[in-house]
Amino acid sequence: MATAEKPLLPPGTKVPAHIGVIMDGNGRWAKKRGLPRKFGHRQGAQTFRTITRHAKKLGVKYFTVYAFSTENWKRPADEVEAIMDLFDKYLDEVRDFIEENIRICFIGDRSMLRPSLQQKMASVEADSRDFTAMTLLIAINYGGRDEIAHSVRVLAEQVKSGRLEPQDITDKMIGENLYTAQLDGDCAPDVDLIIRPSGEQRLSNFMIWQSAYAEFYYTNILWPDFKPADLEKAVIAYSDRNRRFGGV
Ligand code: IPE
Ligand code: IPE
Ligand code: MG
């Protein structure tokens, strides 16, 4: 006889439509073990796989992970190289998600990435575009300020060509030209919950526009140690918050 599966979340838990995760703490995880930082990134990539699947199980519709920021190029060349090699490998493995009905999109300025990576990214996006269980957004060479500058450039071109008057520019238009709104016909809603492990309490240039009314959840756990139960904890904490959006 089939036994009823225990629900993952308490009944009535409000699951955020869009969760963003700042996958931080890989380097410290490795250091604690006396290992080179790249081992932390490798372990963090495993956590990414597990937690992405769990987000889908919980019913999250958009899941954005911050993998590499526009500022991360400042790191030593061998660390950047190791991270890029990992992306290359993971872009092959991420194809498993396609079989799980997960759509994969990338946000950020990809023109700075290796051509082989850019090709893989485009092909993963094309092959997963009809999947509907959850949209996974992977932020690579992503910066919130860079994204806003990108949107403003698009609008400036429209002004230059006479299709738009400066006084008609609205915040909605800026939002509609961000990377998160350019997902080949789809538009990710503003982020509801931002999770940052590793003990830091800052955005580090992550979705600064989309997080205007986001709830924040911080934990001291380092990303490679982050477990499905930690994601559930964050969602339950979110569910207990009272979001007012400026109202009463
Ligand atoms: C996050 O982990 C991964 C990237 C920024 C690519 P870190 O590498 O920032 O880890 P810590 O913060 O040094 O521990
Ligand atoms: C933010 O982490 C970027 C990613 C996790 C990809 P960082 O480790 O780069 O952020 P700071 O430097 O501590 O603010
Ligand atoms: Mg860090």
| Cα of 170 from ligand 3 centre, angstroms | 34
The pTM of the whole model exceeds 0.85: yes
Whether residue 21 has its Cβ less than 6 Å from ligand 1: no
Pocket of ligand 2 (CB under 6 A): 22-24, 66-69, 72, 200, 202, 204
Each residue's pLDDT tens digit, 135-158: 999 999 999 999 999 999 999 999
> What pLDDT, on the 0 to 100 scale, is given for residue 98?
77
**Do the strands 215-218 and 134-142 form a parallel or antiparallel pair, or are they unpaired?**
unpaired
How many CB atoms are located within 10 Å of the residue 176 CB? 15
Each residue's pLDDT tens digit, 212-245: 999 999 999 999 999 999 999 999 999 999 999 9
Tokens 């060349």 label which residue? 77
> Given a cut of 60, is residue 2 above it in pLDDT?
no
CA dist 238 and 14 (Å) reads 8
For residue 29, the ligand 1 atom closest to its alpha carbon is: 14
For residues 33 and 39, is the Cβ–Cβ distance under 8 A? yes
Catalytic residue selected from 72, 88, 146, 177? 72
Each residue's pLDDT tens digit, 8-29: 999 999 999 999 999 999 999 9
Ligand number with the minimum distance to the CA of 205: 2
Question: What element of type H or E holds 175?
Answer: helix 171-176
Closest CA to 15 of 198, 247, 241: 241
Ligand number with the minimum distance to the CA of 196: 2
CA dist 141 and 160 (Å) reads 28
Provide, rounded to the nearest whole percent, the portion of the chain with pLDDT above 90. Answer: 91
Closest CA to 174 of 201, 156, 194: 156
Non-local CB neighbours of 25 within 8 Å, separated by 6+ positions: 40, 44, 197, 198, 199, 221, 222, 223, 224, 225
For residues 138 and 116, is the Cβ–Cβ distance under 8 A? no
| Cα of 33 from ligand 3 centre, angstroms | 16
Non-local CB neighbours of 100 within 8 Å, separated by 6+ positions: 53, 56, 133
The dihedral formed by the CA atoms of 217, 222, 228 and 229, expressed in degrees to the nearest 10: -70
Mean pLDDT score of the chain: 95
Each residue's pLDDT tens digit, 163-204: 999 999 999 999 999 999 989 888 999 999 999 999 999 999
> What pLDDT, on the 0 to 100 scale, is given for residue 46?
95
**Do the strands 102-107 and 62-69 form a parallel or antiparallel pair, or are they unpaired?**
unpaired
Whether residue 28 has its Cβ less than 6 Å from ligand 1: yes
Find the angle CA(33)-CA(37)-CA(43) to the nearest 5 degrees. 75
> What pLDDT, on the 0 to 100 scale, is given for residue 99?
76
CA dist 76 and 84 (Å) reads 13
CA dist 26 and 115 (Å) reads 26
Each residue's pLDDT tens digit, 110-122: 999 999 999 999 9
Non-local CB neighbours of 130 within 8 Å, separated by 6+ positions: 103
* DSSP type of residue 74: G
